[in-house]
Amino acid sequence: MPCRMPSVLSFANIDLHLVKVLHTVITERSVSRAALRLGSTQPQISAQLKRLRALTGDMLLVRAGTGLVPTEAALGLLGPAERLLQEADTLFGPARVGRDFEPAQAEGQVNIAATDYLNPSFLPDLVTRLRTLAPGLKVALHPLSADSDYRRKLAAGEVDLVVGNWLQPPEELHLGRLMTDEVVCLVGADHPAVKNPRQWTAARYLDSDHIAPTPMHPGARGVIDDFLALQGLERRIAVRCSHFSLAPLMVAQTRLVLTTGRQFCERQLDRFPVRIVRCPVAFPAMAYYQLWHDRTHASSAQRWLREQVRDTARTLTGKAPAARGADAIRRSHEGVQA
């Protein structure tokens, strides 16, 4: 006679493996075959079946001739158990954490926030690489500006990755160093720094009219002005520009000075009447990083994305992509030297 169903089901007594045992025993209709399939022993499966009988209030398997057959109640439990196992695989299985990530079959969207004042080819080359290797992925590029709280967006999952340059990257984020670049000045072809390079001193540099990008968040000054402030120096910023790609044309038509990485400046020489001159203040090399949050650190899909960002940067700096993984450990400064 079937056992009565318990009045209160204690979920503390149920684990996912027990559900798997339930599903396997019912489908195999044999304790010994279930043990073999689960890599367990017959006594262990028998003990777990006893727990299941107590939890469900039903015998689950009963004798029929020389074998076992599932009860009507057991057959009713088969579907829910199968659905529960499928949902658990969705939550915790390889596809969820990205262990079996296959770029060619990948779908969804990646969100990358990046500045536009590193090498101008970086983002186009990265998009080309992503479209080639993972054509099913959508790519959303987000700007880094004073209105963009990239730390909050990384924590909330609104952005997967942030690419930019910082004198001191945020402490709470993971980072991978992408490239470094010499700091130079871009000026118009008729600028005094071009005509009289010996007179292009630190004092004249600081006293010139400068164009600078809009800070990435309120209160920020940017890597150039942060470094100057550490030296007790200050330049005169006449123009702030949120569209950095427009700055070279403004430089070409004025006496403004743009201080940034050499790679960006070299791409402008064939487009505008501008020249690259040395920076009379000894700035350290400009370092570019990719930053990501703990929430995506272990994801293989996100690790693959970081590898593509890293390899794109290395291609631009003339370095062959490394065979090792992309991730730098937290606060690591290993990466490409330009």
Which residues sit opposite 176 in a β-bridge? 290
Residue 153's nearest CA partner among 101, 114, 96 is: 114
More confident residue, 11 or 139: 139
Pick from 184, 114, 176: which is nearest to 314 by CA? 176
| DSSP letter, residue 236 | E
Helices (H) and strands (E) in the chain, counts: 13, 12
Beta bridge partners of 54: none
Q: Which of 81-95, 203-217, 225-239 has the highest mean pLDDT?
A: 225-239
> How large is the average pLDDT for residues 34-44?
87
CA distance 78 to 249: 70
Mean pLDDT score, 3-9: 46
Name residue, tokens 């950095």. Answer: 244
Is the pTM for the entire model greater than 0.75? Answer: no
The pLDDT assigned to 4 comes to 46
- In angstroms and rounded to an integer, the radius of gyration of the C-alpha atoms of the chain is 31
d(CA 111, CA 142): 7
**Distance of alpha carbon 75 from the chain centroid:** 45
pLDDT tens for each residue of 155-194: 888 899 999 888 778 888 999 999 889 999 999 999 999 9
Query: Are 187 and 193 in contact, with CB atoms under 8 Å apart?
Result: yes
Kindly state the tokens that stand for 186.
């871009």
Tell me the pLDDT tens digit for each residue of 79-124. 888 888 877 766 665 545 445 689 999 989 999 999 877 777 899 9
pLDDT for 10? 52
229 three-class SS: helix
**Across 222-251, average pLDDT:** 92
Task: List the alpha helices (DSSP H) in the chain.
Answer: 16-28, 31-38, 42-56, 72-92, 94-97, 122-133, 150-156, 192-195, 202-207, 223-230, 247-253, 262-266, 300-316
Name residue 320's amino acid. A
3-state DSSP call for residue 272? Answer: coil
DSSP code, position 173:
S
- Torsion over CA: 128, 134, 135, 139 (sign): negative
Mapped onto helix, strand or coil, the DSSP state of residue 141 is strand
Positive or negative, the Cα torsion across 313, 318, 324, 328?
negative
Banded pLDDT at 227 (limits 50, 70, 90): very high
* Residue-wise DSSP of 93-108: SHHHHTTT--GGG--E
Sheet containing strand 286-292, edge to edge, reads 137-143, 108-114, 161-165, 286-292, 174-181
- pLDDT, greater one: 326 or 87: 87
Alpha-carbon span 230 to 222, nearest angstrom: 12
How long a stretch of residues is the chain? 338
The residue-averaged pLDDT of 299-315 equals 93
The secondary structure element, H or E, covering residue 60 is none
* Cα–Cα dist 70/29, whole Å: 7
Q: In what order do the strands lie in the sheet with 183-188?
A: 236-241, 209-213, 257-261, 183-188, 274-277
